[in-house]
Amino acid sequence: MPSTALLTDQYELTMVSAALRDGTADRPCVFEVFGRRLPNQRRYGVVAGTGRLVDAIRDFRFEPDDIAFLRDRGVVDDLTAEWLAAYRFTGDIEGYAEGELYFPGSPILTVVAPFAVGVVLETLALSVLNHDCAIATAAARMVTAARGRPIIEMGSRRTHERSAVAAARAAYLAGFASTSNVEAGRRYDIPTAGTAAHAFTLLHDSEAEAFASQIATSGKDTTLLVDTYDITQGIRTAIEVAGPELGAIRIDSGDLSVMAVQARDLLDSLGARDTRIVVSGDLDEHSIASLAAAPVDAYGAGTAVVTGAGAPTAQLVYKLVEVDGRAVVKRSENKRTVGGRKYAVRRHKPTGTATEEVVGSQCRPPEEPHDRPLQRPYLVGGEPAADLPDLPASRRHLAGCLVSIPWDGLKLSAGDPAIPVTMLSPTS
Amino acid sequence: MPSTALLTDQYELTMVSAALRDGTADRPCVFEVFGRRLPNQRRYGVVAGTGRLVDAIRDFRFEPDDIAFLRDRGVVDDLTAEWLAAYRFTGDIEGYAEGELYFPGSPILTVVAPFAVGVVLETLALSVLNHDCAIATAAARMVTAARGRPIIEMGSRRTHERSAVAAARAAYLAGFASTSNVEAGRRYDIPTAGTAAHAFTLLHDSEAEAFASQIATSGKDTTLLVDTYDITQGIRTAIEVAGPELGAIRIDSGDLSVMAVQARDLLDSLGARDTRIVVSGDLDEHSIASLAAAPVDAYGAGTAVVTGAGAPTAQLVYKLVEVDGRAVVKRSENKRTVGGRKYAVRRHKPTGTATEEVVGSQCRPPEEPHDRPLQRPYLVGGEPAADLPDLPASRRHLAGCLVSIPWDGLKLSAGDPAIPVTMLSPTS
């Protein structure tokens, strides 16, 4: 993999330069990633991207070319160039599991390292987490809205070509069934899906020829896209060509709730009772919810999921909270940020329903029955921790978390966080 | 560079499979990229990303590992695997110059190739253009709002780590002065900027020590961030430490219009009349416009620019418009798409003001004085065309285009496209 070390804001490197000169570079520090609020008054956020970040930190090396560029630009001096050349992340990172829920103030990621070692990860950590958490949160809301029906992620074309791969991963983590993105399928072992576009029908001299060709190659269990010309005729042609064993039809335009009912009736009347109906076309969590009563078997979601459905970034920040064991905090109006390293647990009723998140600053919350600690090691002395969960495990973890929050927390409407976050400090 | 060939939706490969088997794979085709509308009723779009796309197509090769994965998954058969292994894009691509304006229906990119050769580029082309056009359009609106004051792009942390690099490029194309993203600086030779975060002040035992350290390393022309504690005291300390030769202060919080006036007064009273004021903190085109009367010297923009300021994707589509010289088009309500290869010119008054865009389907618009043809070759027989403009040239091109549209076109409010697009067909 190419180095990730230049995916960095210049000021991190100028700060390292100055800190190396003035002797503060080695001060023991704690940095934390958290969100001050949930975008669009959502009721929860989904942690995603930490697994990618661990890999990206492993690839965070300043190569000779990188350093030559920084020297040429005058960003760093000789002393700093030497330090960068030797750079390996040697600190500790702990944080919430992928698939965990988070709320305003949740300490999603904690980086414990000397100042210079930790500060250079700021941009990379935030880029990965702000993107992946935004997508996973939007995707989880769609999964809730789909009420068990599978959703195919097909938004690659509506986002940057590399974001698309990470977005497919985040959507799968959140419960999507599959992705259209082939690279995501390979890199993260996610099921892939996709059969044909309108272009394939237009290429052929008739819709029937296009359908026959697709079936000859992919078999009758394929999905035929029936809305290139007239949907009713398209469905008739599909069944004429494939027979009632046809796997599925896809409708990508029109009023999907109306079209789905008509398509189901028509398919049934043609004896194709097991042929599934897949709908796509600018679906978001709200339009998916509104299709709950329609005879739809699966959804294809694109633009909305890869752009975070109105919240394309999770707005997480990376803040220095402790220097030499001393809590530090920026003073500014309207930002009630608490300094100090945080320790977080989630409290639950005996039934398993979550009631609150308790976050202690420089102190561990007093233990109560049914508490669940929320932080786990990711890197220890720069080395990946043992037993990092894989993507399917994280996916199951999120499904369990969503069952545990109060019912109101699953509402799609704007509102308060599903559970409150209580901040404790040693003096409180 | 890693191959870009798997940054693709699976259905492109299944279509290639079927088309190779049924003999349609070699049919001469024309695909076009265009937008049906401008997001959020903006008045223009900015073409960006085509330069990146040319590079990505050069790296579009199916490597043995890629093909093995596709075979294992059952996505392609042996015949297709062989075809993919030999794949090189051998067609022609022409399109609008980077930095050109576009409107609903503008044929931004035209791909002329046999079906299979052209269809596999769909996702990659759309990913690159949908992302970069969205960012460049948002950025251009901010540049207009800034009225000549420089804007620093500092949004890397709020978007995917690789998108961040492309976003910095698109923002620079649109007229931003610099970026915080070091990789963008290296890869695209964009000026970089950045001095220190609040963490640097918090690291030190006092604000004065932090400022002194930064000045010792970066010189007095640096920018000191003065709002970690109390802004007024921060400015006093900055000038005490640096003297009135201090390059700039940065304010990242509070009511920026009020703070800028107070900061200017204070700086002037301290004799620091040439010390500039940089403001940042969730600035978008509207907040930048509202600061026009404030004594601000430069803006830092982050979240809004990298997320497209409310329109994170340009909503461009990639459509098959011609097969074997015959215009083709999907029939569906509310999508007045015209088939056939398009030829586009922009009409102007003798004064140079643009009046309309004329797009001929399978015909060239009749020539008029002051017409400017809008399409230029990018790839000819798969090889990059001569004289592709570099990024600074594209940046100047956009600046010229923005001068040429009617005044109303520069309004930030929602409205009609700045100029109408007239579609001509051979029969009209």
pLDDT by residue (tens digit) across A17-47? 999 999 999 999 999 999 999 999 999 999 9
- The closest of B217, B193, B213 to B204, measured between CA atoms, is B213
d(CA B176, CA B246): 23
So what's the pLDDT on residue B335?
Answer: 57
Whether residue A246 lies within 8 A of chain B, CB to CB, comes out as: no
So what's the pLDDT on residue A306?
Answer: 98
Give Cβ neighbours of residue B176 (< 8 Å, ≥ 6 apart). B139, B142, B143, B150, B151, B152, B153, B301, B305
Q: Tell me what percent of the residues of chain B surpass a pLDDT of 90.
A: 96
Q: Is the pLDDT of residue B110 over 60?
A: yes
Q: B302 CA to chain A: closest CA distance, Å?
A: 11
So what's the pLDDT on residue A68?
Answer: 96
- The closest of A314, A401, A372 to A125, measured between CA atoms, is A314
Q: How many CA atoms lie within 13 A of B295 on its CB side?
A: 18
Which pair of structure tokens corresponds to residue B165? Answer: 């690099």
Contact B73 A131 (CB under 8 A): no
Cβ atoms of A232 and B50 within 8 Å: the answer is: no
Contact A9 B198 (CB under 8 A): no
Assign B331 a pLDDT band (cuts: 50, 70, 90): confident
Contact A228 B75 (CB under 8 A): no
What's the pLDDT tens digit per position in A214-267? 999 999 999 999 999 999 999 999 999 999 999 999 999 989 999 999 999 999
DSSP bridge partners of B279: B251, B299
What's the pLDDT tens digit per position in A155-184? 999 999 999 999 999 999 999 999 999 999
Whether residue B159 lies within 8 A of chain A, CB to CB, comes out as: yes
The three state secondary structure string of B31-72 is EEEEECCCHHHCCCEECCCHHHHHHHHHCCCCCHHHHHHHHH
The mean pLDDT value for A198-204 works out to: 97
Which pair of structure tokens corresponds to residue A214? Answer: 């697709």
Facing residue for B313 by CB, picked from A159, A182, A200: A159
What's the pLDDT tens digit per position in A203-213? 999 999 999 99
Surface of A (161-190) touching B: CB under 8 A? 161-166, 180-183, 185-186
Q: How many CA atoms lie within 13 A of B103 on its CB side?
A: 23
Q: Is the pLDDT of residue B148 over 90?
A: yes
Residue indicated by tokens 């993107």 = A131
Assign A426 a pLDDT band (cuts: 50, 70, 90): confident
Surface of A (67-106) touching B: CB under 8 A? 69-70, 73, 75, 77
A-B Cβ pairs (cutoff 8 Å, strict) = 322
With 0-12 / 13-18 / 19 or more C-beta atoms within 10 angstroms meaning exposed / middle / buried, residue A412 is middle
How far is CA A107 from each of CA A8, A57, A323, A399, rounded to the nearest angstrom?
Answer: 22, 19, 17, 21
What's the pLDDT tens digit per position in A74-105? 999 999 999 999 999 999 999 999 999 999 99
Q: B294 CA to chain A: closest CA distance, Å?
A: 21
- The closest of B118, B19, B79 to A216, measured between CA atoms, is B19
Give Cβ neighbours of residue A260 (< 8 Å, ≥ 6 apart). A251, A277, A279, A291, A294, A295, A296
So what's the pLDDT on residue B3?
Answer: 81
CATH number, span A10-135+311-424: 3.20.140.10
d(CA A183, CA B73): 12
Instruction: Please give the residue of chain B at the shortest CA–CA distance from A181.
Output: B9
Whether residue A126 lies within 8 A of chain B, CB to CB, comes out as: yes
Q: Which chain B residues have a beta carbon less than 8 Å from that of A166?
A: 160
The mean pLDDT value for B178-192 works out to: 98
The three-class DSSP label of residue A74 is coil
Q: How many CA atoms lie within 13 A of A26 on its CB side?
A: 3
Instruction: Please give the residue of chain B at the shortest CA–CA distance from A228.
Output: B330
Q: B181 CA to chain A: closest CA distance, Å?
A: 5
So what's the pLDDT on residue B25?
Answer: 98
ipTM: 0.97
Whether residue A361 lies within 8 A of chain B, CB to CB, comes out as: no
Q: Which chain A residues have a beta carbon less than 8 Å from that of B3?
A: none
So what's the pLDDT on residue A335?
Answer: 58
Cβ atoms of B140 and B286 within 8 Å: the answer is: no
Domains B10-135+311-424 and B147-307 share a fold: no
Q: Is the pLDDT of residue B428 over 80?
A: no
Whether residue B122 lies within 8 A of chain A, CB to CB, comes out as: yes
Q: Is the pLDDT of residue A334 over 80?
A: no
Q: Phi/psi at A246 (nearest 5 deg)?
A: -50, 135
d(CA A372, CA A390): 20
Whether residue A363 lies within 8 A of chain B, CB to CB, comes out as: no
DSSP bridge partners of B31: B111, B320
Contact B6 A312 (CB under 8 A): no
Q: A409 CA to chain B: closest CA distance, Å?
A: 26
Contact A7 B181 (CB under 8 A): yes
Task: Quote the mean pLDDT of chain B.
Answer: 96
- The closest of B312, B407, B425, B402 to B102, measured between CA atoms, is B402
CATH number, span A195-296: 3.20.20.70
Which pair of structure tokens corresponds to residue B355? Answer: 């009046």
Which pair of structure tokens corresponds to residue A306? Answer: 């890869």
User: Which fold, B147-307?
Assistant: TIM Barrel (3.20.20)
DSSP secondary structure letter of residue A64: H
Q: Tell me the one-letter amino acid at B75.
A: V
Whether residue A3 lies within 8 A of chain B, CB to CB, comes out as: no
The mean pLDDT value for B307-315 works out to: 98
d(CA B49, CA B1): 17
Distance of CA A221 to the CA centre of its chain: 31
Q: Is the pLDDT of residue A321 over 80?
A: yes
Interface probe with B: pick from A33, A111, A157, A335, most Cβ of B within 10 Å: A157
So what's the pLDDT on residue B257?
Answer: 95
Q: B139 CA to chain A: closest CA distance, Å?
A: 16
Facing residue for B203 by CB, picked from A19, A158, A159: A19
Q: Which chain B residues have a beta carbon less than 8 Å from that of A306?
A: 313
So what's the pLDDT on residue A336?
Answer: 67
- The closest of B353, B346, B157 to A122, measured between CA atoms, is B157
Which pair of structure tokens corresponds to residue B182? Answer: 């070091």
Contact A119 B199 (CB under 8 A): yes
Assign A337 a pLDDT band (cuts: 50, 70, 90): confident
The three-class DSSP label of residue B257 is helix
Q: Is the pLDDT of residue A130 over 70?
A: yes
So what's the pLDDT on residue A188?
Answer: 98
So what's the pLDDT on residue B338?
Answer: 87
DSSP bridge partners of A319: A32
Order the strands of the A342-348 sheet from edge to edge. Answer: A372-373, A342-348, A354-361, A421-424
Beta strands in A218-361, from DSSP E residues, in sequence order: 223-225, 248-251, 276-280, 298-301, 316-323, 326-327, 342-348, 354-361
d(CA A353, CA A407): 9
With 0-12 / 13-18 / 19 or more C-beta atoms within 10 angstroms meaning exposed / middle / buried, residue A63 is middle
The three-class DSSP label of residue B421 is strand
Contact B8 A253 (CB under 8 A): no
Q: Is the pLDDT of residue B332 over 80?
A: no
H helices of A270-341, in order, are 285-290, 303-306
Domain boundaries, chain A: 10-135+311-424, 195-296
Instruction: Please give the residue of chain B at the shortest CA–CA distance from A129.
Output: B160
Whether residue B130 lies within 8 A of chain A, CB to CB, comes out as: yes
Instruction: Please give the residue of chain A at the shortest CA–CA distance from B231.
Output: A332
Whether residue B336 lies within 8 A of chain A, CB to CB, comes out as: no
Whether residue A315 lies within 8 A of chain B, CB to CB, comes out as: yes
Q: Is the pLDDT of residue B334 over 60?
A: no
DSSP bridge partners of B300: B152, B280
Q: A204 CA to chain B: closest CA distance, Å?
A: 7
Facing residue for B161 by CB, picked from A31, A124, A186: A124
Residue indicated by tokens 């029109």 = A254
With 0-12 / 13-18 / 19 or more C-beta atoms within 10 angstroms meaning exposed / middle / buried, residue A106 is buried
- Other Cβ atoms closer than 10 A to A216: 12
